[in-house]
A and B are shown apart, each in its own frame.
Chain A
Amino acid sequence: MIPPFVVDNSPALMVIVPFVAAFIAPFAGRAAPAVRALVVGGAMAITSAITLILASDVYAHGTRLYVFGAQAATLAVPPDSGGIPVRIMFTVDPMSALMLVITAISAFAVVLYSLTSERHHSGLGSYYTLFLLMVTGILGMVSTGDIFNFFVFLEILSIASAGLIAFRIDGGVAVEAAIKYFVLSTIGALAILFAIGIYYGEYNALNMALIAQRIQFTLLDQLALVLIIAALAMKCGAVPMHFWTPDAYSMAPSSITALLVVASQASLYGLFRTVFSLYNITLNAACVGWLIIILGVLSMVVGVTMAIPQKNVKRLMAYHAISQTGYMLLGVGVGLAVLGNQPLLDAFGYMAMEGGIFHIINHAMYKGLLFLTAGAIFFRIGTYDLNRMGGLGHSMKWTMVFFIIGALAIAGIPPFNGFASKLMIYESVFAFNPVLSVIAMVVSILTLASFVKVFHSIFMGPVLPEYRDVREVPGPMLAGMGILALVVIVFGLFPSVVVETLVAPAAHALADQGMYIAAVIGGGA
């Protein structure tokens, strides 16, 4: 059914297709906007399809290698190289595959949405160019097996994101947000590049598996670890380095914000990949684990408490995004803290990691959905100010339904997907340290409280005179939100299936450094 050529070359194709389409889009727009819509929508559909094909292949047959420029795509170590992987390669293991699934679903929903929501704006040629470059960056970041290549994709992602955050100049305020994001992200990326230089100087390697095999945890390695952890924690918006997040999320166009959430998750993936696959048990797992747990707890608490007094709906949701990132850091951090202690890992460590990773995919879906509903409201009434909203439930019924689904999912109300992952985090973290679990529950309650307020002030109340003529948003936008809402519901109703097929392999692949090294260098397996 699927041509073998596509399956064999899927890691390269999924990056090439959006990359090429990004530079075709502006020319297609010269012919007619409809042609551009066709090119962009088609390219994104193909990319998502290839990505899902690759992910399903990885889940079925284990880690996939794709070595660029080698005789055979799986020939990681050329026979005459003395056992050293010299080429740039993509190493797609189940954890990467999980991120690929997230990106494929979110990006497709977002493109469907923005083809309609951005229709009346100018400069769409560059909008879609940057959009597709963002998708390229995310897909490359989560699948690369070469640490310098990771940096390159990270920079593609940051530059494209910064351009898109500033896209609606908005009297300069959006540009201000973009400057704040981009200055921090550039400094962070340079820190990562410095760390890469350290690895290269010490181990003569850029391949992550080879570095992982040779790593000693010397003082220089510790410096490199800290540079990477701090930079990626900043890029995923962990408190107290979160200040750019509400600025950037609130000023970017809503469809882009939904994708920025995925971009932040990609940084989170990089953080986990570094800690687990590069260092694993060579580092003091308890110390770094607790560092990540504390970051997570701070993010949860500060994020949600800062969200409550917000007046701008997207700023509010951005603070909730910070708070939800805290759950992932908490879950995976607990897994890291007990790494190397097999009984504890089996008792609750894997469960905590699965909870944290499950939360990544859930969060990308419901937070994307919430940002898209915020965009739909802006599309009709032209403001994000909660104080000026009210009574929209009478006219925008579908948007309201999607908002309810997203809000209940983020607050962890059964039977939506947020509940399943939060339950896994609560129970496993309770076994590790009850206090952390209690904090997580309180944060969840505050999240619910905050979204009750948002729901009331946007949708409840009588029809306001100024919004008497508001209509529902057009079909394609609803379809974009509908895809994400459907995923939220399905994941909520069948969490056991998702955990067993998608999440548990990812968690085990992340924790098992030996498997990652063996997949590239051979040896053990």
Chain B
Amino acid sequence: MVFFNLPYVAVVVLTLIGLATIVLKRNLIKIFLGITILESAVNLFLVSLGYREGGIAPIYTNAPEGLMVLPTPQALTLTSIVIGVATTALLLSFAIIIWKKYGSIEIGFLRRLKE
């Protein structure tokens, strides 16, 4: 039972690590790393939802007998990973500009807009 739930335990642990990184680190790159970890947690969650014991991959060519797994969660995860790449790329390019213009990527310096 515990073994079966291990992926979900990992999801919770990764989520907590991701959130903690986002709210505790003051360096933009580390915050973005936290977001990436959070993203991985959600991806792991999605992909472990699709696991069926004894199921076979839904590839029809030379498929053995048995129940095929619905590939929807894998498709969701792939989509989510692609979106995650775009997100990370955009965030990092923001960090580059902030580094050039503000001279620092500590979020304490990102306070020109307030009140």
Q: Which residues of A contact B (CB under 8 A)?
A: 148, 152, 155, 159, 162-163, 166, 169, 171-173, 175-180, 182-183, 186-187, 190, 193-194, 196-197, 200-201, 206, 246-247, 250-251
- Cβ-neighbour of B110 out of A176, A187, A190, A246 (below 8 A): A176
Which residue, of B22, B90, B91, B112, has the highest number of chain A Cβ atoms within 10 A?
Answer: B90
Is A176 touching B98 in the complex (CB atoms < 8 A)?
yes
Q: A163-B90, A169-B101, A193-B42 are known contacts. Are A176 and B113 too (CB-CB below 8 A)?
A: yes
Closest 9 CB pairs of A and B: A172-B101, A247-B113, A201-B49, A175-B97, A155-B83, A176-B110, A197-B45, A197-B46, A179-B94
Is B113 touching A190 in the complex (CB atoms < 8 A)?
no
Is B79 touching A152 in the complex (CB atoms < 8 A)?
yes
Is B86 touching A206 in the complex (CB atoms < 8 A)?
no
Q: How far is the CA of A409 from the CA of B28 in the complex (A)?
A: 41
Is B46 touching A172 in the complex (CB atoms < 8 A)?
no
Is B87 touching A155 in the complex (CB atoms < 8 A)?
yes
Is B38 touching A190 in the complex (CB atoms < 8 A)?
yes
Distance in Å: Cβ of B68 to nearest Cβ of chain A: 14
Is B35 touching A179 in the complex (CB atoms < 8 A)?
no
- Cβ-neighbour of B113 out of A166, A173, A183, A186 (below 8 A): A173
Contacts of B113 in A (CB 8 A): 173, 176-177, 180, 246-247, 250-251
Is A183 touching B31 in the complex (CB atoms < 8 A)?
yes
Contacts of A247 in B (CB 8 A): 113
Q: How far is the CA of A182 from the CA of B87 in the complex (A)?
A: 9
Q: Which residues of B contact A (CB under 8 A)?
A: 22, 28, 31, 35, 38-39, 42, 45-46, 49, 72-73, 76, 79-80, 83, 86-87, 90-91, 94-95, 97-98, 100-102, 110, 112-113
| A201 closest partner in B (C-beta) | B49
Distance in Å: Cβ of B50 to nearest Cβ of chain A: 9
Contacts of B87 in A (CB 8 A): 155, 159, 182, 186
- Cβ-neighbour of A200 out of B28, B73, B110 (below 8 A): B73
Distance in Å: Cβ of A232 to nearest Cβ of chain B: 17
Distance in Å: Cβ of A159 to nearest Cβ of chain B: 6
Q: How far is the CA of A339 from the CA of B12 in the complex (A)?
A: 35
* Chain B interface main SS type: helix
Q: A166-B97, A179-B28, A190-B42 are known contacts. Are A172 and B76 too (CB-CB below 8 A)?
A: no
Contacts of B112 in A (CB 8 A): 173, 176
- Cβ-neighbour of A187 out of B22, B80, B86 (below 8 A): B22
Q: How far is the CA of A21 from the CA of B102 in the complex (A)?
A: 35
- Cβ-neighbour of B90 out of A173, A182, A196, A200 (below 8 A): A182
| B45 closest partner in A (C-beta) | A197
Q: How far is the CA of A186 from the CA of B35 in the complex (A)?
A: 8
Is A172 touching B28 in the complex (CB atoms < 8 A)?
no
Other than the known A155-B83, A159-B86, A176-B102, what 5 A-B pairs have Cβ atoms closer than 8 Å? Answer: A177-B113, A197-B76, A201-B49, A247-B113, A251-B113
Contacts of B102 in A (CB 8 A): 172, 176
- Cβ-neighbour of B38 out of A169, A177, A187, A250 (below 8 A): A187
- Cβ-neighbour of A175 out of B39, B45, B46, B98 (below 8 A): B98
Mind listing 7 A-B residue pairs with CB under 8 Å?
A163-B90, A169-B101, A172-B102, A175-B94, A176-B110, A190-B39, A194-B45
- Cβ-neighbour of A197 out of B31, B42, B95 (below 8 A): B42
Q: How far is the CA of A332 from the CA of B42 in the complex (A)?
A: 31
Is B110 touching A179 in the complex (CB atoms < 8 A)?
yes
Is B49 touching A182 in the complex (CB atoms < 8 A)?
no
Is B49 touching A197 in the complex (CB atoms < 8 A)?
yes
Distance in Å: Cβ of A386 to nearest Cβ of chain B: 15
- Cβ-neighbour of B91 out of A155, A172, A179 (below 8 A): A179
Q: A176-B113, A177-B113, A194-B42 are known contacts. Are A152 and B83 too (CB-CB below 8 A)?
A: yes
Is B91 touching A183 in the complex (CB atoms < 8 A)?
yes
Distance in Å: Cβ of B20 to nearest Cβ of chain A: 13
| B49 closest partner in A (C-beta) | A201
Distance in Å: Cβ of B42 to nearest Cβ of chain A: 5
Contacts of A246 in B (CB 8 A): 113
Distance in Å: Cβ of A507 to nearest Cβ of chain B: 33
Q: How far is the CA of A179 from the CA of B98 in the complex (A)?
A: 9
Distance in Å: Cβ of B87 to nearest Cβ of chain A: 5
Contacts of A169 in B (CB 8 A): 97, 101
Q: How far is the CA of A175 from the CA of B98 in the complex (A)?
A: 7
Is B46 touching A193 in the complex (CB atoms < 8 A)?
yes
Is B49 touching A172 in the complex (CB atoms < 8 A)?
no
Q: How far is the CA of A166 from the CA of B95 in the complex (A)?
A: 12
| B95 closest partner in A (C-beta) | A179
Q: How far is the CA of A152 from the CA of B113 in the complex (A)?
A: 30
Is B97 touching A159 in the complex (CB atoms < 8 A)?
no
Q: How far is the CA of A251 from the CA of B35 in the complex (A)?
A: 24
Contacts of B110 in A (CB 8 A): 176, 179-180
